[in-house]
Chain A
């Protein structure tokens, strides 16, 4: 049971952190709970489908299907996160202060919430599919009893939900005026880390094998295997031995989001009370 718990927890921690950030980033937005729930539900269904068809997915692109799939959903998540930040830069003020009607609030909030719901769905799908494959493997072997497996799985999920709560309430301790600035930065770094992870998947499959040499190695200082290393890997894309392509993609993603955010804010001169990465 303990082994099941640890593996399930390991897998759900990333999704848990992302859901916590999304919840904090959308604090005060009408109907966010519903959209985040849609995201989680879609992610769970998607995870079961991906696990069921793992063999088929893997066989696409001469065996590189899994990596192409992972990289594609990560890039989609990066686009959604970037779009959310840019959109908030332009419409933040309208959302926060100038909404005359509840209807407009719901409409304005929904557009940005859909993007974040997609991010939540992708996070749950990626980690969830591995949990499903793992649990299915145990169940079919009959090594441990199904009860122990289910208990371990449930406890692992509960621990993951605990991470979400910690992240969320932790972020809420930040004063309201600074919260959006912090979540905007978190979302920018989260996106950059995901983009760097996407390039890694493509290289693992043998694509874009440029600048694959390790640039530096800080595993002696903070190993990516440690709990802190793992958390930072999810949150800001910490990598204890990044290669050149990853660093380039990471930097370009941050530059693109910050650049687009500034451009959007300039287009809406009165829209910038919600600070964004600058």
Chain B
């Protein structure tokens, strides 16, 4: 088992292709690729710590990117932006770095049940070093239970991590209130938020929210993969988690990847130019997709909240009597690319922890698909997707049949 050539060929000539799996990877728009290209071999290809022109050019390019990105999230200093190879690495750095450096302040880490695995699994790892994780539950739409949070936080809390927008179900969490609750009860605690699904899609301002650490990711705003950043408020003590040759990035060793950082910067600029218009466009297509599915397909359930409480790009729907992995394959054959919260690729039969945390039954979680719309999608794309979903769910339900009933 190894080759998938035949699977790719089986798609044949597709009438249209609509990529909606922006949760897991992203095509990079040509205009952003164009912005990166000079940095591979025409300019700034040197190591930014070295004393020659290509090195200084790289230093300048990285500095400018940090300055701009700092501006987009309301950070005070460009030095507060620490480039990493992505969201996973930034979350690892935030949690391990903050817990290990500040262990004298306490041993308790507070998170929600629906954090990404690059947070939850790091917590599990930190438990091996004497830390205790407390997971705060969420309600049926994914909102953190603030009363439970109040009960859970005490002076032992050294670190809290709550994502700004849930990556699977689009819930926009009340981060400002969560920060206040945590800091009221444990003033020394360091507050981290994974803002990868907030950045470029909802107003996000580190100073106004009062967070100490924030993760942002390039590919989640249509930039290249392999780059992200951790905002670290100046003065917040963090341990490095990798050792080696350090350059311009104080917390991440190795040679800076200038073209990727430029791609991240360019993607950020394009997300924030006409921010309101971009968001309105996404929100309209999101609602068209959600409403079209709920009206056009029986036994379909929306996962997560609606309207202004939901990220403008996120659509997550469960179909009963239709298993999610089958649906991703069937939709792929029609040129529609989505992902599923089904457990189908795992033997231990555990579907998406986020869907289970909001109270979805197993069969609802197995039948879920996750889609994200962008400013590049059109009404025609969504019409095509809706037709493909209706046809695909209908065909898979004929395979389900009566199931012996």
* A and B together in one complex: no
